[in-house]
Amino acid sequence: MQKICVIGGSRYFGKLLVKRLQAADHHVTVINRGSTSPPAGIEHLVVDRNDEAALTAVLGSRTFDVVVDQVCYTPVQAETAARAFADRTRRYIMTSTIEVYDPATASLPAVPPGTPVPEEIVDPATWLVAMDLPWHDDAYLEAHYAEGKRQAEAVFARTGCFECTSVRSAHVLGGGAQEFTGRLAHYVGRITRGEEITVHAQVLPTVFIHYEELAELLLWATTADFTGPVNACSDGQLDVHGLAAITATQVGREAVYRTVVAGEPASPFSFDRHYAMSNARAKALGFSFSHTTDWLPGAVVEALTTEPSPTA
């Protein structure tokens, strides 16, 4: 049994991770702002993780074997957490994102289309950190989500206070209404209603992961000893046409497409640039992934059950 602290853990795969940690007989502590309580038997500390003094006070004399940070979006938050947990844990896991590889958000080494992107393309040990940017501005943070994650990873990589890893998640799907981004529901709804799906003229594939598989990978990471970033994605790249085709099969209707003009936004997962991740490192470390096409039809069915029936 380990003592594991989860920062966030109130919804989607974070909520599932807490349940799986508890089922594995770990002593689990959840830290969040109190909007959602964890399951019975989970220690709950209510605090704003951005308030360093309050965070330190609520932690008291507690120590942990592992901290899993589900809600770190900026280098400022990372630096606060690094100080607060410096003498309280031996291992720190930050949930990151595929968006760190988006070439539209940073100057990155070019990767040929079709070549899965490895972790070393974005090295947190050498990434520039700028603490003086307006990270507390919600609008700025939303516009610079990928850079916030890159710099947060960089802060943890250089802390030296504990071993750390960042789990760079692919696009997470599954769970019906739990999938709060609504991206899969977007396709289910539009295809069900016979509405157009807007796509780029030349679309490139991306990678996905089921929310249960991501929770399982994070659980695995709490008992592992590797450090540095690791990509988390199911096997099999899929472009927007492939995603829509699987959705259409489950819905029982044809997908209708419209090609966007220059500068016009396209539907979620229609990409005109390549940053589909490689999961080779996680596999080499011992984690086994499913194939996207094995679970995606079931995820569509889950989303379909929450989609209102089209009116006549």
Identify which of 146, 112, 143 has the alpha carbon closest to the alpha carbon of residue 127: 146
* Each residue's pLDDT tens digit, 247-269: 999 999 999 999 999 889 999 99
Amino acid at 144: H
Distance CA 66, CA 26 (A): 11
Q: What is the pLDDT of residue 307?
A: 54
Q: Are the CB atoms for 11 and 211 separated by under 8 Å?
A: no
3-305 has which fold? Rossmann fold (3.40.50)
Radius of gyration of the chain (CA): 20
* Each residue's pLDDT tens digit, 87-101: 999 999 999 999 999
The two tokens of residue 72 are 């770190």
Distance CA 279, CA 154 (A): 21
Q: How confident is the model at residue 312 (pLDDT cuts 50, 70, 90)?
A: very low
Q: Are the CB atoms for 85 and 161 separated by under 8 Å?
A: yes
Q: Is the pLDDT of residue 274 over 50?
A: yes
pTM for the complete prediction? Answer: 0.94
For 149, phi and psi rounded to 5 degrees?
A: -65, -45
Q: Is the pLDDT of residue 204 over 80?
A: yes
* Each residue's pLDDT tens digit, 128-163: 999 999 999 999 999 999 999 999 999 999 998 999
Distance CA 105, CA 145 (A): 9
DSSP 278: P
Q: Is the pLDDT of residue 310 over 50?
A: no
Q: Is the pLDDT of residue 229 over 70?
A: yes
> Which secondary-structure segment (H or E) carries 245?
helix 240-251
Q: What is the pLDDT of residue 7?
A: 96
Indicate the domain borders of the chain: 3-305
Q: How confident is the model at residue 114 (pLDDT cuts 50, 70, 90)?
A: confident
Instruction: For strands 43-46 and 64-69, give the pairing.
Output: unpaired
